[in-house]
Amino acid sequence: MTAGPERPAIPADRPLVIGIDLGTTNSLAAVLQAGEPVTIPNALGEHLTPSAVSVLESGELLVGAAALARQATHPSATATAFKRDMGTDRRHVLGGRSFTPQELSALVLRSLRQDVETALGRAVDEAVITVPAYFDELQRRATRDAASIAGLAVERIINEPTAAALAYGLHQRAREFRAVVLDLGGGTFDVTVLEVMEGVIEIQSSAGDSRLGGEDFVDALAEVVAAEGGPSGLRDDARAWAALRAACERAKRRLSSAPEAEVVLAEVPLDGGRSLSLRHVVTRERAERAWAPLLRRMEAPLSRALRDAELTPERVDEVLLVGGATRAPCVVRLAAELFGRMPLRNLPPDEAVAYGAAVQAALKSRDEAVQDLVVTDVAPFSMGIATASVMGRQHISGLFTPVLERGTVIPASRSQRFSTIDANQKFIKVEVYQGEHALCRENRQLGEFTVGPLPPKPAGRVSIDVRFTYDLNGLLEVEATVPDTGQKTSVALEQVPGRLTADQITQARRAMERLKFHPREALPNATALARAEALFAELTGTPRELLAQHMTALRLALESQDAAVIAEAREQLTALMASLTGPGSGPAP
């Protein structure tokens, strides 16, 4: 499904709401046209935009494929996989400039927005953005902050497996079936159990691991190559490790269709004036041994999702694979073994989530093509507060008491009454947590606030009602009420690390407007050269010399400023790279 001139444009009298899959490795945008979800090509004509940002020596910013290619040659000026840092206060320093994860994500969103506006000839102000089902409250709010910085209104955030279910269910509304969606992307793994009944897609449970994805498979493969074929200390050299990871990413893709792959690095500059050359063959069998611990980590969320839905594998009608990392034969085999049937990949695994985001966007804009489609979702986490218990004269504190259990159909509002533990207690500190462990210290703290002053009474005689309200976007509001006084207090989630205030979002938006971006029309040239430089490190002998000649030819053509000469030189360089890398040389899944 791709955008094409034969498809009718979205009516001008209908607001343009786009769907965005903001991924760890790749991102893409899609819209619903003539009842079909279509992805929007970027400036390179590609439908996947790598979630990568790089700063050139000139201070200009590159976003997408050109930035990703520079990771192997300029790791200190390039950032990738920053989606994993959403909801934290980590900062990335690129070219002497500091960025928050929200700002880097905003740069990717800005690029996608520009691609859609160029392709459709219309301004875009609103989007539906997908997030992993197991993204917590802080990560979801950080995603919304990133959209605000990029100038996009986001009134709807949808879980990635739910979006995939929408895409699958779009043309199967007349069927009744129960399915499990396995979504293994670049940085996260989600499992969702759903049921489709007469156009209603009911999510029954979700589970996952927000730190498990294709990036971890690449790291494990790189560790194998470094240990078996590399010099000591390779892991400590940033440039060498970045080059090795890039080569292992390509090898991982080749291993999806071939029994072995060769990892080659040629004269990669190291610290201290040294260089690294490496050639190592990795078999699929060896790679799968390295990946075995990652595959075992997938089993726990699978079991939890089935248990929460009160299902056994035999009662599942279909197993649906989503995410580029599900191309690995070992992932397909794991799913087949656990469910006793071959999983399905009816939609492109990299694009299924974006298709679903486009369907949700169409639902929001009341598109007639989806007016009879309904989707319900559930809370993926339990949420509650810290409590204490009295045993004799001893207080046991830090206990987690859920107020809203995981698996609750959302939107939802739940209330629970708590009492003071000491006589004449003046204040109650309400600490909000998210997770499944009985102890708060093992869960994620979302925020805290203080209720009081309270009327002086004996222990247990003053109560507060704590209400959790969880909306369709997976965003939480917490309110505490003292029945004796009617006093109400709400949690201040903005005060937690990594959360941006409204002023900080405004400042970040203004700072983005001042940034210098590499011209969009010049991105194909910058991307071709960046990819060639990364490939140069993998080649030796005649192929390397030939690649260097074509790189020089493109640089000379750029100096001539002759558009026809530049286009011809770029096409020759791109064709040469394709012939040198063979199958599986396209954009990273």
Query: Which residues belong to the active site?
Result: 21, 83, 160, 183
- Contact (Cβ atoms closer than 8 angstroms) between residue 531 and residue 71: no
Give which of 300, 340, 345 is closest to 325, Cα–Cα: 345
Q: Which two tokens stand for residue 235?
A: 């892991």
Neighbouring-strand partners of residue 131 = 159
Cβ neighbour number for residue 310 with a 10 Å cutoff: 11
Strands 200-209 and 189-197, sheet pairing: antiparallel
348 to 45, 203, 467: CA distances (angstroms): 17, 22, 41
Q: Which two tokens stand for residue 174?
A: 């007349």
Q: Which two tokens stand for residue 96?
A: 């002497």
- Contact (Cβ atoms closer than 8 angstroms) between residue 503 and residue 437: no
**DSSP H/E element including 165:** helix 160-169
CA separation for the pair 349, 320 (Å, rounded): 10
Give which of 29, 50, 46, 1 is closest to 589, Cα–Cα: 50
DSSP 8-state assignment for residue 16 = -
CA separation for the pair 90, 26 (Å, rounded): 21
CA separation for the pair 195, 366 (Å, rounded): 23
Cβ neighbour number for residue 516 with a 10 Å cutoff: 11
Q: Which two tokens stand for residue 543?
A: 């192929």
DSSP string, 395-440: EEEEEEEEEE-TT-EESEEEEEEEE-SSTT---EEEEEEESS-SBG
Q: Which two tokens stand for residue 20?
A: 């965005």
Q: Which two tokens stand for residue 49?
A: 């935009």
- Cα Rg, the chain, nearest whole Å: 26
Q: Which two tokens stand for residue 434?
A: 């998210």
**DSSP H/E element including 567:** helix 563-581
- How far is residue 340 CA from its own chain's centroid? 29
Tell whether the torsion through CA atoms of 59, 60, 63 and 69 is positive or negative.
negative
